Every structure is written in structure tokens, then in C-alpha cells.
Structure 1
Amino acid sequence: MKRAAVVLSLLLMPSCTDAIDVGEGAPESVGGEGGQSSSSGPSGASEVATGAGQAGSEGSGQAGPGGSGQAGSGGSSSAGSPSEPAAGAGGAEQGCNSDLFVGYLHVTSQAELEQLRGVSVLRGTLEITGDVPDLSPLECLTTVDGGLVIRENPTLRDLDGLRSLEEVARTIKIFDNPMLESVAGAAARAPMWMIARNASLESLSGFEEVEAGVLWLNGNARLASLSALGNLREGGITLIDNDALTSLDGINASRLDTLHISKSDGLVSLKGIDGLETVGVLELFENPNLSSLEGLEELRTVSNLLLWQNQSLSSLEGLESLVHVDYLDISELPALTDLTGLTSLESLRSLGVNGNSALVSLDGAPALRTVEHAVIESNPELVSVNAFAQLRPDQDPPLSLTLSSSPKLTSIDIGRATRLRDLYLSGLALTDLSAFAGVSELRSLSVGSNPELVSLRGVEQISALFKLGISRNPQLTNLEGLSGLRFVESGITISNNAALTSLDGLGPLSSEGTGMNVGVALRGNPRLVDIDALRGILRMNQLVIEDNDALLDLTGLEDLRDLLSLSIRSNPALTTLRGLGARTIFGITITGNQSLTSCEIAAFIAGLQAFNDVREEENATGACSP
């Protein structure tokens, strides 16, 4: 019997399968489904043309498997349903031997689905919605080279009609089918399965032979078993809001690209994945009763490990075999008190420990030798940070460390480390910087909002910085501790330090470190009277002196010769600019200085060799001082 090819050109639906909401956290469909799904048109409108040769030129001449109606040589189908396959194209009696060429085919009734009986290869994406209780018309279907979507079917109980299906090129989506009890027919070879909100589904029976792919399970309220996944060896698993699931038994893979588990109220541990050794991304989010990581005892390597908002998780025990993580994020675990469980962890590229309300210390990672980047912030009970005590002193690149918003933190141990990249300290209970006494190389230093800080002692070995920031430290009176500093490449910002009276302790800065890139900003230091420590700077990009209530003059800036931009604003006690030695300035703003007279400003500008863009306003009036 000659194979008949049916060519179906179908106007696309107004809303495409890729736009369907399958739930929170849904990944992008693999490959994008349909390919043409952005087009729109009336549902089911189609034109049909037979393939080469007259349909029914051989055989009985009866149309389709039903045996009624004469075979047509062309023409169009009735509106709202796909055309019947040509005579001899399929059906139980005729065999399964036709191809149906579509871009995107949307079936909304049992009668429409019946028109696909006998089709073995569907070239496009098939979506089935509405009251279609029986998929047996698809019993010949072996291949879909687009995607397959079965959704919002109120009476469908099983997928047995797909028992011949062998391969789907793109994602298989099965969701919002409240009576569906089995997905056995969907276990064809595919890159991804998305199975969501099927209220009667209790297991994945039928998936026993699946060895590879990405499985996404969301909101299947009665799903209680993953035992059918025993042969899955590569790919990924996402489990979201499957509250009946109390065990991960059935996941036997030793390696996965991704494992995501969130909002699974029934899980108290991770028992069942005991053989897992390597994961690309492991995410555990918002599992309210997860109290243990038991089940991860064999895990050695993870690219990204994220533990977020698991309210009952009080320990990291279970991770004792973990050796390397690229990115470890431990956030908003209110029962966690330390890092016990990270016994074997040796290296991290990035560490985030944030918003853990009961965390007292970072004890528990004694083998940690390498960390490139760490952010420890908003841990209100944190007292000590000693996870870095065993860092290699020659680590390259060196550690970049941020410690912030931990108001009880008094103890920091970085061991024998002599190099850091960036150091950011904010909102801590430190009184000085003695924890960093061994550091001789540092790129950037920022110290801000530390209410107990009285001294910068501890960083005397630092001779060069890219950037320096000292802000909002209410008890700091000087810059003692920065006496070794000779070179700042980009910027110095000293701002809003309520008790700071002088810049003594800074430098002396040498001329070799004062290129045109450096900018100096002195802002909001109400008691600052002495800036003599800036002596020695020859050139600046920008100089900003603003809101320093007690500053009388600019003594200390006599060596300055070239300046691109000058801003002097709202310094109520400032009476003279005579300490400023710059002779060339491009861009001058002098405003709101209540004791600085306009004639004093005019005399200063008159002494410049080159300048432009002068803005001078709201300063004092009166005679110049001699």
C-alpha cells in the first residue's frame, strides 16, 4: 500500500503553547515550542491538500479509518477541526503510516482528535485542551518533532493512547488535568517533561525506562512517590509544591545537572538521594519542615549550592563529604546557628551567608583553604567569623570580603592571609581593625557605619590602595592606622564621621601616587578642623569639601598644583581658600559657605593660571581679610 502524506497548513491560535503559565519557577521550554507560536488566527481553521498522487488511488477508496465518505483529491476541511487523513493513511485496519505536516495544531474536542487516527509522525507541535477523555486516536503516533501539550482536560484519566509514542523533539507539558491518574504514556524520549497541577496524580509510573532528560514537577498535590525514576542517570529534577512527597526514594543518579526542591511541605530530610555525588545546581528553597540534609552524605562537588528560607533547617550535617563548591549561598535559615557539617569543604569561589537570624558563628568548616569572594551580612546574632582561619596565604586571586549589618560581630580570623582584594566592613561591633594586622596587600578598603570603632589600627602594612572609604563611624576621631599608606589610585572618601577632628594618621601620601585619577571627598564631618594629612598630593581629578561645620581653612593642600574639578559647599566656618595651592582648575563650584566672602573667592580665582566654568553663589559678603 502506497504511503499517503497529508499536508496540513493550520492558522495558529491567538495564544501559543510557549505562553501558557505552567506555574512558578517554570523553566524555558527546551528549544522553544512550535516555532511559529507568535502568530494568531481562528482556532481549528485549516486547509488540506493531499500529497503526491490521488488519495485512495489504491485500496478501497474509503476515507480514513472510519470507512465513511469518499476520499477527496483536495479541498478543505470543515472549520474548527483538522481534516481526516487521506484514504489508506492509517487507522487500525489500514496501519499506521501517515505523516501530518503542521506548524502548530490545537485540538479541543474528541471529534477533532479522532481526525488524527492513524498518524504516526506529527511534524510540528500538538496541543490538546478541553474535554478530550480518550487519547486512543493517537495510538499510532510514534514521533512528534515539535512539542506536546496536554492541559486543562477535566475528564482525562490516563495517557494510554500515547503508548506507541517514542520521541518528542521538544518539551512535553502535562498540566491542570484534575482527573489524571497516570502519565505512563508520556515517557517517550524527550529533552524535558513539565508535569504540573494534576491533582489526582500519585506516581510517575511508566517512567521506569527514562534515563536522561529534565523533569519538572510542580503542584501535584497527591504525588507521593518518585520510585519510577530509578534509571534516570543524567539531566535534572525540579520539585515544587508537591506536599504529599515525603521521600526522595527512587532518585538513584550519581550525577545531575540540576536538583531543585522548593515548597515541599512533606519533606523533613533528603533521604533517598544517597548516591548523589555531583550536582551542577542544587537549590533547596522554602521547604518549611526540612530539618536535615540527611541523604547528601556522598555529595562531593556542586557548582551552585543554594539554601534559602528553609525554616526548620538547624544544621548543615549531611554535607560532610562536600569538597568543592563554586557558589554557596546560605540565606534566611532562622534555625541555623553555625556551619557544622562542612567538615571536608576545601574550596569556594563565592560564599554568601545572609539574613540568618540565629547564626552565632561560622564554625564548622575547618578544612577551608580557598575562598575568592565572601559576603556575610544581616546576621544579627553573629559574633565570630573564623571560617577563613585556614586560608592559604598565597591564594590567588586573593579573598574579597564583605562583612556587614551584623551588630554583634567582634571577632574575625583570616589566619595567615597576607593579601586581600577588597575589604568592606559595615555595621559591625569592631573597635579596631587588628584582625587584619597581617595583611600587606589590599585593593580597596571601605569602613562604614561601625558604632564602636575608635581606631583604624591594624592596617599599618597597607601601602597602596585603589580606593579608600571611611564613613559613618561615630566614635572615630582620626585616621590612625593608615600611616603606611602612600598611594591611592582612584579615590578617597571621608564622610559623616561625627567625632573625626583630623585626618592625622593618613599617609603621608607621596607624589608618585597622586595621578590625575585620584579624587578626594570630605563630606559631613562636623568636627573636622585639620586636613593637613593631604599634604604631598600634587594632582587630583576631583576635590570635594562639603558640609564640614568646623573647618576653618584648607591648610594641607599647599602642594596641590593641578585640579580638574573643585567643589566647596556649605562649610559654615570656612573663611579662606589660601591653603589651596592649585594654579590650574577646570570646573569650580563654591556655594553656601557662610563665612567665605565673595571677594576672598575672587582673589583666589584671580591667582589661578587657568580655569573655567566658575559657579559662585550664596557665600558671605563683606571685605576680604588682609
Structure 2
Amino acid sequence: MRTAPGSIRLQTSPAQFFAFLVGLLLLSTPDFLMAQCPPDLWFDSQAEVDAFPATYPTCKNMIGPVLVVGTDITNLDSLRQLRSIGNKLQIESPNLADISGLTGLTRVDGFLHIGGTALTNLHGLENLKLTGSSFTVANNAMMLTTTQFDSLQHSGFSISGSPLLQDFGTFPSLQTGKNIHLNNPASQISNLEGVFPKLETAEYFFLENIPQLESLNGLHSLNRVGAMSIKKTGIADLTGLENLQIISTYLYLFENPELLNLTGMAALDSVQSLQITGNPKFAGLQGLEQMNHVAQLEISENESLQTLADSAALPNVIGVLNITRNPNLTSLRGLENLHVQNGVTIEDNETLLTLEGLAKVQHPYNVSIKGNPQLRDLAGLQQLETVTVLVLENNDALTDLSGLSSLRAARQLRVNDHLRLKNLHGLESLESFQTGVLYILRNDSLTTLEGLGAMLGTQSILIKDNPLLSGCSTLPVCNALALNAFPTLENNQTGCNTPAEILATCNFSFNSLGGQVFLDPECDGVAGIQDRFLPYQMLRTTDGRPFAFTDANGRYQRFLTGSQQFNFRADAMPGFSPQPDSISISTNDTLKLFSGQDFALCPDSLFNNWRVSISPIGLPRPGFENRYVIQYQNRSAQPGSAALRLDFLDDVHPDFLTITSANGGTSTGTNQLQWNLVNFPIFSTTAKFEVRVKLDATTPLGAILQPRVRIVPANGDDIDWSDNEMTLPQTVVGSFDPNDKWVDREQLSHPVASEGEWLRYLVRFQNTGTAAAEIVELRDTLPAELDFNTFQPLTASHRYKLSFPENGVLNWRFENINLPDSASNEPQSHGFVQFRIRSYPGLNVGDSIRNRAGIYFDFNPVVLTNYAVSRVTEMVPAPIVQSPAPLALRILPNPFSDHFWIEIPGIEPHPKQPMILEIADLTGRILLRQNVAGSRFMLNRDRLPAGLLLFWLRDSSGAVLACGRGVAR
């Protein structure tokens, strides 16, 4: 039978059709039309609770949240039909005395909170099997007990503020815990027997403010926790934790008045941070016999601790050791096998007599010995060889620094606030003080700096408020003053109050070299009043190696080894000839200062030579502004005029791009700017424009943004066009690391690479700390594939000094930079350097050039950038084609508070190629980066801040596979 167009042909039997009509009739009843459950439930009164069965007779599984807050609510008997809640359950009714009406409830996918009620128990939750995040019971003043949580298998549990509580209830089925926090200062609970008989793992396990708790018996099944805190309990040891093997982050033992030692944790293998603080009877570390890994050990404010002789149980290597404010500790014996990698802090131990026990501390990042009034010497540090920061302060019994006989290298030395210190003997072996800072402050008995040894490299000196100090003309201080270090000399005895006083008694028993590079229009070789000193100019040996570099004032200096010949010249600059052509210096056994070794640059003719560069402050991201700094310089023989132009190549569609700040530039077309420079002076170091560009929120990830700058002299003539244009290709990303390295050529074609090719590098840095950085130092150790002799510095964001500590090592130092922290002034918290260098000839297909930099903010640990990689291929591929749109990444639940799931529908991960998950805040700062596998996986919120977060999933090459947004509460 034919059917009319658009009609429906039924292919059913009469019986099926009748059943369909009956079902349709049932669906049209009033009960069904009222829907099974509302989006959320908010109970403001007992009447609303009592009306629930009639209002929603078939509602069993709520998707949204349930809140019980009415002041007249006394029971929840009418909620017996509820089986699950897909969001939170929040109960805060002050007169609620009975929740037995929740006996049907088996799961709460969000958090469960019961607070400020009149409940005496939690009877009614016996059938609860899981909660999605936290389960908190707080400030229920009448509560005597909880309940027997027979069914609960996966949940956290936190109880506090119940002064009448007699027990915590029981959790006979709980194996995997989340945040377990028992906090009840008025309770009489003495042990945990029967509470968690099957608990094996917990993310957080806190026992706090339970003074009657005498034992941890009952936790015998616990074998792994993320973090554990035991505070203000009555335990004497850790018996009960005999099967605990791993603590992923920290174990805090705070203010337990009866704690004697750590007996009871014989199986513990590793903990990141172990802190033992404020336990008045604590006497030793017994109990750690199986320990293999401790990243940080802190022992402080333990009144009865006298010795660490039982510390042989500790692993041989730890990251950080802090021993502070233990009033009766007399020695560190027992730590003889301990290697410390990052830092040692020994502070405010009133009766400490010796540092013996630190014999294997050789190469830590920092050592701080402060406030130990009876410490007689530093003999325990006799094996210390290198340290970044050495702080010696307020150790009143020290008369010298004997005990540091092996110390040969440091970057910062602070010797402050000593009562009896007379000299610095003990530092005679200290030779390397590369880019160092020397602080000598408020030492009442100090008369001389003898003992500082022969350390070279001091950049900053602060010698102040030493009332008897008159002998400062030691080799390190004389070296530093002769080479224009930044001295602060105040309130010392005559002889140490001014650089002139010190230099007058210096014997200059060293070789140092200094001079200036200046423009010499008259070509007379004399630096006249009108002549300009040239900043940031390279000096090289006559065979081409970098030798020295002028600072922002055109000065250079360096130390010279004895009995050698040094031949060097000013680096060639187009259009200028140096006078003299080169300088030759010979050193011998008689050490001296070679000053006034100047180079004059004489112009060969009247000519034009301009250059320009562009540097990004961040990476382009959809919906955000990105800043670019354009720097330019007139390197001609005379002032002149030029046009500077900015445009964007067409990889990103113009509709996606908006210039939001032009810094005085004139628009000459879509996303095009021009600045006209008139009668511009030569060799200015501060000439720059800042441009802000915003990408539309729909700009596809992976697109290439290519800002281009060009500068053209007004008469169209330039003797060197190689630096008149620069293009900066950038990939549009969702997030970025603010400390990174970029190279302009990620792929090199073999025919060119085999002969050597110029590469331009950009290193960016940002102060993401909590205070302004006074000094920033950037160090780059060049790989073997790059020719150090061809290195050319280009631009930088701030004034700097450049040095070459070793062959192939570049060191930029930004002194007095006062770089704001990102929280206080994000736009000004960034900096950068640019340089270029040639690769060595002879690279073959498959070879790669990997280069990264280390960044030091003040004297904090190094921040390493990514590797900038250039690979040699048979031929450079065609321009990048935009990747397909990334998949949608789902976060469940969203918003999330604790655990959350990530799903990527449609992805097919390869088992041997892990993916990389990145989570960033709205500024683009990376908060988390880790390898993941599969199309669905779970994460812990950990320290992710509250607010909107950006999620990116990348493959091993960095390409974006999926992205999404989530909200952390």
C-alpha cells in the first residue's frame, strides 16, 4: 500500500497498538506530568519536608542538590523514598534531632555536610555507600555518637565541634578513604579500635585535638595515605601504623605532649615531608628503620630532644634538613651518613655546641646557621665544597669561621650579627664567588676581613655597622672595587667607610682588565665630552672567541690568569673601524691592574644603518591580549629619520585579530601600524614601542600568528639590510609557561644545515614569586652543535651585564632590576633576552640542536626552561597547515571540589604514547602538567585554586587534542 508523502505507516499488531494507547494514557496522568524530581530541593520548613512525598511521589534519584536549612525542621521522616543525590546534601537546621528518614539513601555524588543541628547521632545513614567528595559533621553540640556506617565503602569523613561525642562510630566496610579528619578536643575517646578495621588507603588522614587519644591501634590495615597529621593527641608513639608503607606528601607530628619517638612505623618506606614540631617529650627518631626516602625533614621546638644519635635509621640522602628551636639539643651527631641536596637550616638551638654530624653535606643549595648562641665553631661542615647561599648570623660564641676549610665556591655570603667574631679565617679556600653578593653587617667585635681568601667574581658588597672594622683591603674586596662592583660601606671604623679608603691600602695582588668602548667621530682616539660610550658591545680574542662585553655604560672588565698572553679587539660593526685594531696584554708573576684599555670606533664614512627586533611578552591565546615589545636602534654615523612598520602575515584571519594599543603608531591598513622616526639619535638603548594585540575567543588553537616588523631609512639607503626586518612566528595556544625558550628555526634543511645556519633564540622570564626580585640571572650552556665564537647578543628587556664564566657558557645578570611579582604587577613582571648564533657545519639529517636556559630569581633555586629544539631534515616541509579543531574535554562533576573525572569522547589513545594534560588559570599560568592515558581518568584537585580553569590535552609533540573549561570550588 502506498503512503502519502509525510504520512506514517504503522507496522504493528492490534495488541501492540492497544498497549501503546494505554501507555500514552498513563503518561498523561497528573503524577507523571509533575516530573519525577525537581532540579534541586531547598527545605525551609518542616511543612515542606512533610509535603515531599505528595509533591514528588516518584522522586527517588535527585540530580541536583538538596539543602535542609529550615529552623523548625526536626526530622526528615518524609524523605524515606530518596535513594541517591547527584549533587550535594547540606543539612543545617538547628532544631533537627532525627535523620532516620534517610535510611533509603545509598549515595551522595557531591559533598555531604551536617552542621549546627541538634542531632545526638547519625542513625539513618547506615545504608550510605559512597559520597562524591567530602563528608563533614561539624558543630553539632548535642551529638554523642555517629552511627554504624555498615555500607560506606568510598568516602571521606570529617567530624569536629561535638564536645559530648563519646565515639566516632564504626566504618566496617570502608576501604578507600578521602579526607578523614577527626577533631574533637572535649571527647573522651582513647583509641580507634573498631572504627576503621578495613581502611587501606586515604588521601588525607588527620587526627587533631583529641587529648585523650592514647593509641593508634585500630589502623592496622592502613598501608598508604596521601598526607597525615597527628596534632594535640595523647599518643606516646605510633604503634598501630605498623603496616603503613607510603605517605605521598607529608607526615606532621605537632604538639603531642606525650610523644616520645616514632616507634610503630617500622614498615614506612617513604614520605615527602616529615615534620616533628612542638612535642615536649620527644627524644629521638627511633622507628624509621625501613625508611628509604625523605625529601624534607624538619625537627623543631622539641624541648626534651638532646641528641640525634639514633638518626642512623634515616635514608642517606634527603632534600632539605631543618633543625630549629630545640632548646636542649647539644649536637647533631647521628647524621654522619646524611647527604643533603637542597638546603640545611640549623637555627635557634640554644644549647647547640657543635655541627658535628654534617660531615657528608658537600653540595647543598643553601646553608643557614643562625641564632645558635653556644656554637663554638663550624667544624661539622668541613666537607662543604660548594653552596649557592651561605648564611651565618647571630652565633654569639663564634670568634672566626674555622671549619669551612673545603669551601671553594659560593654565590652569596652573609656574615651578620655576631657578638665575638673577630675575623673571617676559615674561608681561605673560597676561590669562586661568581656574580656573588657579600654581606658583612653588625658584627660588634670584627676588626678585619682577613680569611676571605682569593675569591673572585664579587658583584655587590654591603659592609655596614661593624664598629671596630678597619681592615677591609683584602683581595676579594679590592678586586670588586677595582672592577666597579656596587659597594655600600657605612658605619664602620676608618679604613672601611669608603671605596677610596679601602683602595688606598690595596696592593692589587691580582690581574684585572678594564676599559671602555666609545664612538669617536673625530677619529682622534680620545674620548671627548661629546663622544658616546657604547653599551652592549662584544670584545673578542683575535681568533674570534667572546672575551668581554660592555655594560650599559660602555665599560668592560674581566680577570686575567697569570703568565699568559691575551690578544683581543672590539667586535666588528658595519661602517666603523676600531682604534686600535687590537690590544695585547701579557701577564706574569707580578700581578697588576690593567685599566684604561679603551677602543674608539671611528666611522668610515657618513652612512645609514638601522636595526629592529620584536619580542613577545607572552604567547597568543584565544580571548586574551598579548604584548609585543618592538626595539629599534640607529647604528648610523649620524642622526637620521626612518619609518618603522608592523603588520601580521595572513596565517591568522584578520577578523580574529585586533590591535588594542598602538603606542603612538598610525594605522596604515588592517592590523598595520607605522611609526615615523625623525632626526633620531644614534645608539639609543631605550628606544622601544609596546603593542597589545587581542585574539578573538574563536581563534583556532594551533593557528600561526606572525607579527613582522620592518624599519626603512628615509633615504632608502642602509649598509646592512640583514637586521632591518624580523618575523616572529607564534603558535596560538591555550596555556603557556612564563619561563621559556624559543628558537626561530625548528627545522633546518640538510643542504643548508650542513654548512651552518644562523639561529635566533628568545628566552623569556617572569617573576611568579611573592615579592619583587632584586637580581635576575640567566645562564645558558650552549650545546656542542652551536659555535660559541659566532654568538651575538641582540636585545633585552632591562639593563644587564653579560659574562662568559666558561667557554660556551653565557651569563646575563640583571642587577637592581626590582622585577615585580606577578600578583602585584603582572604586566611589569616579565623580561627577556634575544641572541643569535650559528650552528656548526657538518650537521646531518636526523641531528638535532637542543638548548635550554636556567633562570635564577635572587638566590632561589634555578628555574629551567623548556628545550628549544632545531631538527635537521632532508628538506624543510611546507608551511604548517592548521590542525583540525580539538575535541571537547568533559570535566565531571563541574564544578568540582575534590576528585573529578576527565572524559574525552571520540579519542583513541595509543597505549605506548602517553598524552599530556595541562591545567592553567585565566592568566595562562600552568598549574599542573602531567602524563595521562586513556579516554577517561580521575584526578585529585590537590592545590588547584578556586575559580575557572582551562584544561588542555596534548599529544607527545605538543599538538592540542582536546580542551575544555572547569570550575574548582
| Pair in the same fold by TM > 0.5 | yes
Query: CA offset at residue 558 of structure 1?
Result: 2.9
2:118 alignment partner, one of 199, 217, 224: 199
Equivalent residue of 2:357, what SS? Answer: helix
Task: Describe how 1:28-47 pairs up with structure 2 within 5 A.
Answer: none
Q: Which whole-Å deviations, capped at 9, do the CAs of 1:464-519 have from their partners, x for residues lacking one?
A: 1111011100010111111111100x310000111100100113222xx2322x10
Matched, 1:336 2:259: yes
Secondary structure at 2:451's aligned position in 1?
Answer: helix
The one-letter code sitting in structure 1 at the alignment partner of 2:458 is M
Q: Please say if 1:234 is aligned against 2:158.
A: no
Listed as ranges, the matches of 1:159-174 within 5 Å are 159-174=76-91
Deviation per residue, 1:354-398 (Å, 9 max, x gap): 1222222233322223211012112222212356413443x4xx3
Structure 2 counterparts to residues 120-135 of structure 1, below 5 A: 120-123=36-39, 125-132=40-47, 134=50, 135=52
Cα distance in 1 between the residues matched to 2:484 and 2:434:
10
Take 1:577 and 1:421, find their aligned partners in 2: how far apart are those partners?
36
Q: Which amino acid aligns with 1:506?
A: L
Structure 2 CA distance for partners of 1:207 and 1:534, relative to 1, 3 Å: same
Unaligned runs of 5+ in 1: 1-57, 60-86, 99-117, 588-606, 611-626
Deviation, structure 1 residue 555: 2.0
Match of 2:197 in 1: 274
Paired residues of 2:270 and 2:293 also in contact (CA < 8 A): yes
Q: Deviations over 1:510-556 (max 9, x none)?
A: 2xx2322x100000111111212224233222100011111113121
Superposition CA RMSD, Å:
3.0
Partner of 1:62: none
Q: Which residue is 1:520 aligned to? A: 438
Cross-structure match for 1:416: 337
Kindly indicate whether residue 417 of structure 2 is the aligned counterpart of residue 500 of structure 1: no
Tell me: CA distance 1:193–1:245, structure 2 relative to 1, closer, same or farther (3 Å). Answer: farther
Match in the other structure for 1:317: 239
1:430 aligns with 2:323: no
Residue aligning to 1:10: none
Give me the whole-angstrom Cα distance separating, in 2, the residues matched to 1:176 and 1:210: 24
Which of residues 445, 456, 461 is equivalent to 1:538?
456
- 2:391 corresponds to: 469
Native 8 Å contact 2:286 2:311 kept in 1: no
Structure-2 change in CA distance of 1:568 and 1:244 (3 Å)? same
Q: Give the structure 1 partner of residue 65 of structure 2.
A: 147
Residue in structure 1 matched with residue 409 of structure 2 by the alignment: 487
Question: How many aligned positions are there?
Answer: 475
1:389 correspondence with 2:298: no
Task: Tell me the distance in 2 between the aligned counterparts of 1:194 and 1:295.
Answer: 26
The one-letter code of the counterpart of 2:158 is T
* Equivalence for 1:262: 183
Change (3 A) 1:491 1:139: same
State the alpha-carbon separation in 2 of the partners of residues 283 and 245 from structure 1. 18
Match of 1:550 in 2: 468
**1:82 aligned partner:** none
Q: What letter corresponds to residue 468 of structure 1 in structure 2?
A: L
Contact 2:246 2:268 in 1 (8 A): yes
Deviations 1:8-63 (A, max 9, x none): xxxxxxxxxxxxxxxxxxxxxxxxxxxxxxxxxxxxxxxxxxxxxxxxxx99xxxx
Using the TM superposition, give the Cα deviation of residue 206 of structure 1 relative to its aligned residue in structure 2, in angstroms: 4.3
1:442 aligns with 2:360: no
Contact 2:331 2:354 in 1 (8 A): no
Q: How far does the alpha carbon of each residue in 1:313-368 deviate from its partner, in whole angstroms, 9 at most, with x for none? A: 33322112222213100111122222222222222110111122222223332222
How far does residue 238 in structure 1 lie from its aligned partner after superposition? Answer: 1.2
1:293 Cα shift?
Answer: 1.2
1:161-211 CA-partner distances (Å, limit 9, x unpaired): 222223322101112242431243372532221112221342332432524
SS for the counterpart of 1:208 is: coil
Q: Could you tell me the TM-score, scaled by structure 2's length?
A: 0.46
CA gap 1:219/1:139 in 2 versus in 1, 3 angstroms: farther
Q: What are the Cα deviations for residues 575-620 of structure 1, in whole angstroms up to 9, with x where unaligned?
A: 6322466998999xxxxxxxxxxxxxxxxxxx9999xxxxxxxxxx
Question: What SS does the corresponding residue of 2:468 show, helix, strand or coil?
Answer: coil
Give yes or no for contact 1:369–1:388 (8 Å, CA) kept in 2: no
With over 3 angstroms needed to count, the CA separation of the structure-2 counterparts of 1:142 and 1:169, relative to structure 1, is: same
- For residues 336 and 379 of structure 2, the distance between their equivalents in structure 1, rounded to whole angstroms, comes to 18
For residues 536 and 529 of structure 1, the distance between their equivalents in structure 2, rounded to whole angstroms, comes to 19
Question: Secondary structure at the residue paired with 2:502?
Answer: coil
Any idea what SS the aligned residue of 1:229 has?
A: coil
For the Cα contact (< 8 Å) 1:342–1:365, is it kept in 2? yes
Separation of aligned partners in 1, 2:223 and 2:330: 33
Q: Which has a greater percent of strand? A: 2
> Which residue identity does 1:321 align to in structure 2?
N
2:107/2:130 contact within 8 Å kept = no
1:373 paired residue number: 296
2:429 maps to a residue whose letter is: P
Give 1:268 shift.
1.7
Q: Give, in angstroms, the shift of residue 258 of structure 1.
A: 1.9
2: CA distance, partners of 1:258 / 1:164: 29
Contact map agreement 1:540 1:563 (CA 8 A) in 2: no
Any idea what SS the aligned residue of 2:37 has?
A: strand
Paired residue type of 1:237: F
Q: Aligned with 1:533: secondary structure?
A: coil
Match of 1:577 among 502, 512, 522: 502
Counterpart pick for 1:292 among 207, 215, 227: 215
C-alpha offsets along residues 299-323 of structure 1, whole Å, 9 cap, x if unaligned? Answer: 121110011222x333322112222
> Per the alignment, in what secondary structure is the counterpart of residue 542 of structure 1?
strand
Amino acid at match of 1:151: V
8 Å contact kept, 2:45–2:71: yes
TM-aligned CA deviation for residue 421 of structure 1: 2.3
SS of the aligned residue for 1:304 comes to strand
Partner-residue secondary structure (3-state), 1:558 = helix
Question: In structure 2, how many angstroms separate the alpha carbons of the residues matched to 1:485 and 1:276?
Answer: 50
Q: 1:555 to 1:608 in 2, by over 3 A?
A: farther
- The TM-score, its normalising length taken from structure 1, stands at 0.70
- Equivalent-residue separation in structure 1 for 2:291 and 2:88 (angstroms): 41
- The code of the aligned residue for 2:159 comes to L
Change (3 A) 1:438 1:515: closer
Q: Which residue of 2 aligns with 1:208?
A: 127
Residue matched to 1:103? none
- Deviations 1:375-427, CA, capped at 9 Å, x for gaps: 2112222212356413443x4xx331000011111243224234442111012
- Could you say which residue in structure 2 is the equivalent of 1:73? none
Alpha-carbon separation, structure 1, partners of 2:597 and 2:301: 52
Give yes or no for contact 1:448–1:472 (8 Å, CA) kept in 2. Answer: yes
- Relative to structure 1, the CA distance from residue 188 to residue 317 in structure 2 (aligned partners, 3 Å threshold; closer, same or farther) is closer
